[in-house]
């Protein structure tokens, strides 16, 4: 069942998303060669706590940290560790904030120092595919229109879309109906109605779309170990417009790819 949100509820998600956006910005400042990924986690955890929020992911089904940190061939659900970032890496940082009873969720993939032009193109295409999807996330369209727009944009450029993991509704729970696949057919799936709040989150691979789960029980990586990128926004659909509730503004003051 899809839980459509009231204006009051969306306002709370908006507030949650503001804290989240700023937490991402604090982390972005420290994304550089030499930092341990667990130190990035600490920055986010403290920032969110200082602003009255709670990390959505920590403790979720036993997930151990505030951030999901997925480097290079890791797609999503990696966790912070002693690993030190190095020049040429890419790092996907996914974070959720729970504030006044509501979740927000967003992700961004960063280059660390100089990366290959091939990988930079992957990041740019993945980010743009998110906005292509958001453009179709409008009142009266169907979910398949969003999914198709993402898949088409990605595949036209020779990349592949991860299918096993999808975007999702969110609100009082981090993951609600409906699913938001990053592949699909136009005109199919649920109609997008007033009050729908969803996280749209393309996960895009440079090589094949196949993924495997590491033995840690969480980390998802590409089977061929080629890089993967992930960008995510939480958006709200209104009858007369669609609003991106989360923001990458504070990230993009530091990085803009």
89 contributes a contact to Mg ion by CB under 5 A: no
Size of the site for Mg ion (CB under 5 A): 6
In this chain, which stretch among 21-29, 94-102, 182-190, 243-251 interacts with Mg ion, using CB under 5 A? 94-102
In this chain, which stretch among 34-42, 99-107, 120-128, 139-147 interacts with Mg ion, using CB under 5 A? 99-107
Q: Which is nearer to Mg ion, 108 or 117 (CB)?
A: 108
Q: Which is nearer to Mg ion, 97 or 192 (CB)?
A: 97
Task: Give the CA dihedral 135, 245, 27, 254, nearest 10 degrees.
Answer: 60
Q: Which of 9, 26, 73, 94 binds Mg ion (CB under 5 A)?
A: 94
In this chain, which stretch among 41-49, 147-155, 201-209, 211-219 interacts with Mg ion, using CB under 5 A? 201-209
Q: How far is the CB of 82 from Mg ion (least distance, A)?
A: 23
β partners of residue 221: 74, 212
Q: Which is nearer to Mg ion, 175 or 226 (CB)?
A: 175
105 contributes a contact to Mg ion by CB under 5 A: yes
Rounded distance between C-alpha atoms, residue 176 and residue 196, angstroms: 11
Per the listing, tokens 């951030």 go with 67
> Does an H or E element contain 87, and which?
none
176 contributes a contact to Mg ion by CB under 5 A: no
In this chain, which stretch among 83-91, 92-100, 136-144, 150-158 interacts with Mg ion, using CB under 5 A? 92-100
Rounded distance between C-alpha atoms, residue 86 and residue 50, angstroms: 29
Site string for Mg ion, 224-253 (x = CB under 5 A): --------x---------------------
Contacts 24+ apart (CB under 8 A), 144-149: 144/184, 144/185, 144/186, 144/187, 144/188, 144/189, 145/186, 145/187, 146/180, 146/184, 146/192, 146/200, 147/180, 147/181, 147/182, 147/183, 147/184, 147/185, 147/189, 148/183, 148/184, 148/185, 148/186
Token code pair at residue 247: 């923001």
199 contributes a contact to Mg ion by CB under 5 A: yes
Catalog residues that contact Mg ion under the rule CB under 5 A. Answer: 94, 105, 107, 199, 201, 232
């Amino acid at each position: 069942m899809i839980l459509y949100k009231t204006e009051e509820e969306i306002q709370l998600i908006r507030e949650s998303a503001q804290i989240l956006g700023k937490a991402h910005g604090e982390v972005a400042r420290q994304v550089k060669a030499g930092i341990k990924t667990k130190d990035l986690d600490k920055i986010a955890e403290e920032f969110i706590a200082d602003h009255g929020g709670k990390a959505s992911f920590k403790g979720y089904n036993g997930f151990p940290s505030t951030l999901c940190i997925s480097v290079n061939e890791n797609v999503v659900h990696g966790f912070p560790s002693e690993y030190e970032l190095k020049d040429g890496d890419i790092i996907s940082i996914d974070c959720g904030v729970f504030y006044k009873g509501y979740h927000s969720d967003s992700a961004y993939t960063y280059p660390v120092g100089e990366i290959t032009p091939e990988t930079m193109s992957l990041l740019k295409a993945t980010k743009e595919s998110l906005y292509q999807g958001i453009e179709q996330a409008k009142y009266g369209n169907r979910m398949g229109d969003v999914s198709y727009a993402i898949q088409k944009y990605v595949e036209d450029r020779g990349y592949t879309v991860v299918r096993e993991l999808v975007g999702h509704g969110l609100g009082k729970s981090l993951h609600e109906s409906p699913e938001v696949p990053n592949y699909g057919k136009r005109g199919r799936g649920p109609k997008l109605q007033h009050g729908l709040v969803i996280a749209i989150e393309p996960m895009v691979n440079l090589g094949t779309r196949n993924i495997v789960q590491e033995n840690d029980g969480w980390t998802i990586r590409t089977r061929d170990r080629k890089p993967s990128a992930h960008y995510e926004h939480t958006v709200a659909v209104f009858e007369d417009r669609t609003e991106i509730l989360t923001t990458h503004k504070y990230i993009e003051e530091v990085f803009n790819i």
